[in-house]
Amino acid sequence: MHSERLLEHFKNPRNVGQLAPPAVTIDAANPACGDMMRLAARLEDGRVAEVRYQVRGCTASIAAGSALTSWMEGKTREELKALVPEVIERELDGLEPASKHAAVLCVDAVKRLLETLR
């Protein structure tokens, strides 16, 4: 059973869409489940000024993308580097074991984004 907070992020996702350059956009995928995330961010003065996402995947991945982008707003590169799956799980008031891949997808996407921002 999904948490109320996860379902709220799924039903009313935040920050859905794309950003035009100079924002950086990356794609990340989870080969085990087939979920895919596109993550775009624009940094200003060393902090995330804008962030958007798109997900093709399950309920948990859609909600996790929403929670991720809300969490990312205003964060520095160092704070982004410290992201671990448990942060996303907390943002969603937990994930079922079968849905933990959604939090891993978020972390993978942020890592790819940071590699591209160098």
* pLDDT score recorded for residue 12: 97
37-50: per-residue pLDDT in tens?
Answer: 999 999 999 999 99
Tell me the average pLDDT of the chain. Answer: 96
43-79: per-residue pLDDT in tens?
Answer: 999 999 999 999 999 999 999 999 999 999 999 999 9
Q: For residues 50 and 42, is the Cβ–Cβ distance under 8 A?
A: yes
Domains and CATH numbers, the chain: 4-117 (3.90.1010.10)
The phi and psi torsions of 2 (rounded to 5 degrees) equal -80, 150
